[in-house]
Amino acid sequence: MQTGKKWLNKKAIFLAIIVLIVVLFSSLLIVNFNTDVPNKREFYVGVEAAYGDYDDLTSLVDEVKNYTNLVVLGLPEVSINQTLLNMSCDYIYNSGLHFIVLFTNISEYESWQDYTPAQWVTNAMGKYGGKFLAVYRWDEPGGDQLDRSKYQEVKNASDYVDAAAQYINVLSEPIQYFKNTGQTVLTSDYGLYWFDYEAGYDLVLAEFGWNNSREQQVALCRGAARAHDKDWGAMITWTFNQEPYLEPETMYDDLVFAYNNGAKYAVVFSYPQIATHGTLDQEHLNRLKNFWTYISRNGPTNAGYEKVKIAYVLPSNYGFGFRNPQDSIWGLWSGDNQTQKIYNEVNDLIEQYGANFDILCDYSKLIIDTHNHYDALIYWNGTTINP
């Protein structure tokens, strides 16, 4: 009988230990589950350094390296100087951050002698691996076209088809030059996103700034990206055209908005140098820290575009600027009754869906390619199609 009691006691102790292990393991699972944020998409957030010298860059990197993961080298003077470019990329890389490099016209690199930007990019991809994310080539090509700047690509065109063809043709060569290295090529823009992707960009950063509609910018850029099976992002630009240029709370809201609506990149544009880190003072940096905390605790609310079931379809080759009802078409034709109608219909969709719709341009494969994306395609001419 004594032996039986000992066996029963051992059995009870053994069962108690098993129960305790199960309880402890379950609690660990709960903790891990609660702290594991389901970020369904890669996400990069950082600052574009478009000011200063090498010391300014290293100071910025030292400041933001613990609450960002990306720096954009946005000064052409950096990439033109190969020694400075190498120093800058080495410092960013050794700080554990990813980086993107802005390149200007190839003719500016003749002093590299027998060494070309394409060769540098190829070598850098081997040296820095995945930390070297992309080449930034040709800033705001769509905006230049719409605003008739001195960099406007298409000066004259017979019709919308001709304007689109010229625009794509002018951009495609410098884009392809870098794409031949196998590297991602991107731009930042505030209009004509569809045609930027048509020209060959792998990624377009929609500029959030001034008083433009964030919902509209997302619908235009994200719609173009999805139709071309590409990524997109946001460039947080000026709120004002004078100091302080960038409003901290608006900057934070824009970062959250881009993140929650499926952007892969969100970059804060820092220029000119009016504070220690370009336009960024301590209040801006605190907001960036808050955003870093936000994304560490929260997955994006619309990462897979689950809420985006509607698309508005523009006429093919329609290069409308969308900043007001009478904005230009391709920077060559004035707004008209059709631009007014389209602008109003898009605003109605914003009122109804917020940012939960896309804007596309009509093309022959549209219905086939969007079959799994949308429940309804609403055309500019009043037609609605359910793919």
Distance (Å, rounded) from C-alpha 183 to C-alpha 174? 13
* pLDDT at res. 109: 93
Percent of the chain with pLDDT over 70: 89
Q: What angle do CA 197, 232, 263 make, to 5 degrees?
A: 165
Distance (Å, rounded) from C-alpha 167 to C-alpha 41? 31
pTM: 0.89
For the chain, list the domains and their CATH numbers. Answer: 44-297 (3.20.20.80), 310-385 (no CATH)
Task: Find the mean pLDDT for residues 300-319.
Answer: 94
φ/ψ (deg, to 5) at 30: -65, -45
pLDDT band at 371 (very low <50, low <70, confident <90, very high): confident
* pLDDT at res. 37: 54
Q: What's the Rg (C-alpha) of the chain?
A: 25
Question: 208-223, pLDDT tens digit by residue?
Answer: 999 899 999 999 999 9
Mention every residue, 6+ apart, whose C-beta is less than 8 A from residue 284.
246, 248, 251, 268, 275
CB 359 within 8 A of CB 318: no
CA-closest candidate to residue 120, choices 103, 107, 139, 137: 103
Is the bond into 272 cis (omega within 30 degrees of 0)? yes
pLDDT over 90 (residue 369): no
What secondary structure, in 3-state letters, does 206-259 show? EEECCCCCHHHHHHHHHHHHHHCCCEEEEEECCCCCCCCCCCHHHHHHHHHHHH
pLDDT band at 36 (very low <50, low <70, confident <90, very high): low
Task: Find the mean pLDDT for residues 66-95.
Answer: 97
Distance (Å, rounded) from C-alpha 122 to C-alpha 271? 29
Distance (Å, rounded) from C-alpha 304 to C-alpha 312? 19
The residues pairing with 227 across neighbouring beta strands, listed in sequence order, are none
* pLDDT at res. 40: 52
Task: Find the mean pLDDT for residues 9-35.
Answer: 37
* pLDDT at res. 27: 36
Question: 233-249, pLDDT tens digit by residue?
Answer: 999 999 999 999 999 99
Longest dimension (CA), the chain: 106
* pLDDT at res. 330: 98
Distance (Å, rounded) from C-alpha 363 to C-alpha 339? 19
What secondary structure, in 3-state letters, does 276-288 show? CEECECHHHHHHH
